[in-house]
Structure 1
């Protein structure tokens, strides 16, 4: 069995032990007792704070890949541990966010940390900040508050520092705003441009929030119902194939801010208006053809954002258009392209599996192997052996 001294010399194990201890602490699984400060000291962590408080940091990544996000947060955590002073503690919580335990008197340094991370990783960073506590063993209260503050990025937008003390109470909304939906529908029918559609959508949401913010879950549900109901009405007299299915609903629920939802809704209705026009069909086919060409030629580094830029569209609109015209999502099609190229490389070259993964756009070979086996039914090694017989 390894000795305690040896364990503590291993940075990886020490980091894991710190994370586990602090996760238990902020979730209230550590009982208040005299050994709390002693435990922190044994883990080489500062046990003394002037009104301890908890902040939660979360990068805003354009890539929705959950595994890649975890790796990104781990890199940020490791970088931040090297930058902050010994008076603060950095760890990862159970939801893969960066936790920062600090003294309230030092709260001004949060802005410097946000700027430092944004510049180092070239991504905006959200920070939710809980209220200070009198005692360290009450830090779970500040943690819960920081988590709620972080969720309020939905209304505040990304790249913000949000203090729990600044939050407004949510107002209840018992009935679906059918009258406002009707007004929006009339505006959409009369709209002559994308700008007018965006204006109508913004006005719809602004009216919803006249009395204060609505519970975020209710806002998702309301948006889904809005799109279903208005799509049915707009397309009732056309032969248009309804592309609004479960996937589209789930994509809305994954959106992190109200602005993202507004943009999606605006582009969705713009797309509906355009596909209802026969003159647009040929143009759309050409755009999808170009999109697939870029995906095939640049699968190693391609993304929805990069292709959208090349075909002069927003990512949201291109995503919708791609689904409408192919019946598949952009990611589904890109994954098939990548796996197809990987099969060819495994069959015709001597590249190692991790090299094949990099060639087709996967930086994590383990993740590549998981996707490959899910699609092909064999691991990359098994596939190579089977075609080599």
Structure 2
């Protein structure tokens, strides 16, 4: 609903205009009036009307002065000037001030409504143009990965941009591109070149969309009609892209790949997982380089039964943990923990691999990067074989905690999220950050959990809660549409009405009328038998 305000020094004119229009039926909200420009300004600043209708001849501050100030300070407000003076100089002055229309008093109700509709259409066209101009391929894909856009809006935006977004399956790959100092001045050129190379490389039977996110991150959203293409072939995409691109460009590239997803909203989940995978892959790569250098210097060749460790991680029990760790770590006794970093790199490499595997097996209730950083801090304190035993026990304990929590922790978190939204949906400022703070999880990780567990984003869930409540209020109260919009957390009644229609197929008024018609049809009939 567009907000309309009237400024005229004749109270009869203001009251006539206010009463002659069924504002809600016509899609408008009458938000106030004033008798002159000076009194109108504070109301305009508070109400922020979409359409301002003002007389010209008024005391204290006339309509042209008011129009000049409003046009300068709030250029989005459309101004209609009314006057009882049919003089060309007034029209000229109004046009120079950028008013939307100029009309003579008296004006009939039908003419007035047509004028409002005409200006309203222009507002809609301008807003749509701004949205189209503001939405680019990069912003759309970035919003998808960031979980900042709903499915319907994403599909509509993709159509307008002629982007082939629809697919049966999605999977995201994140490339972390580290450019050396000597080539830093060519950062943008290198990123564009790498992006072009990736666009030319397409997996058989799978296409994709590539964009730059940030200064060092390049993202490709792979799409396919067949899950096998993305599940099997993309397992090898990291090494292939990295090796081919590092031969062409002076940079270091680390690739992370997220999980296979069937919904557009799953792109966000796959992206978060790809970021985690990329982070662990980069640390693993750095660690292997350091491990090779240390091995070369110290001529050590220690073999750890990694497969056995990972098997124990999956099926082992706390009762057998200490005995297993002592046997597993026997080979580490030959390390000089005081003077060598070899033990650190060896255990760090094992930790990174264990995290990667655990991420596939178990779903952590917290961000793996945070847990990994804490363990690496502990690892740096290891200074003896006995310390290494304590560390390995702690590593298994941490990952087993994920194993236990993954089976029941998410249910508790989702229940808390739903309860919090139910209690605070009327707050139009409610955000992902607020909800995440309540359940004590980072916003990005909470977004991932909710998308996985609920099958839709937090924003979509909040919208469903608000619209369901609005439907209840439309059925059970006589409140006007704009009042219900405020009650369910929407400060813009026009946006609320559009959203309601998009989700229910009816405007709020149509929904209320339909409900009343059904109630009347279901009402028991009373026989008029004269008694």
| Fold match (TM-score > 0.5) | no
Higher relative contact order (CA 8 A, sep 6+): 1
Structure with the larger strand share: 2
TM-score, normalised via structure 1 length: 0.41
